[in-house]
Amino acid sequence: IAKPPSGEIYGHLDARDPVTGAKKWEVRFPEPPLASVLSTGGNLVFVPDSRGTIHAYNAETGAELWNHADGTGHQGGIVSYAVNGKQYIAVTAGFGGMASDDYAPTFGGVYKSMPRDDGALIVYSLK
């Protein structure tokens, strides 16, 4: 991974206008999030980050509405489902694969320190 000309390395999530392509908002992270991003019909965007926190943003404004530390980094999927009219968000947590190994020399910390043998499926319910 090569550093950009500015020297600043970061991960980011951009929201773009679907018609014009113009950037509406951006959220930066110290490292690139390796997990999937989930948007819902209720104007929420969920981003599980590499440091182990799942974030919920307002899809229109990019304002962070909620976050929770899951205890270990994310590099897997995130899904939404409903049971008996109640909506749930399920996210995988844990660095169980090789994807993050290539990031350690560039980003350091989080990618070097996360255990490779932990894993969990964490489920949240939406009010």
Q: Could you tell me the residue ranges of all domains in the chain?
A: 11-125
Q: How far apart are CA 82 and CA 18, in angstroms?
A: 27
Q: Given a cut of 70, is residue 20 above it in pLDDT?
A: yes
User: Cβ-count burial of 26 within 10 angstroms (0-12 exposed, 13-18 middle, 19+ buried)?
Assistant: exposed
Q: Given a cut of 60, is residue 98 above it in pLDDT?
A: no
Q: Which CATH number fits domain 11-125: 3.40.50.10860, 3.10.129.10, 2.40.128.630, 3.40.50.300?
A: 2.40.128.630
Across the range 42-65, mean pLDDT stands at 94
What pLDDT is stored for residue 93 in this prediction? 85
What pLDDT is stored for residue 63 in this prediction? 98
pTM, 2 dp: 0.81
Residue 70 has a CB neighbour count (10 Å cut-off) of 19
In this predicted model, what pLDDT tens digit does every residue of 54-63 receive, in sequence order? Answer: 999 999 999 9
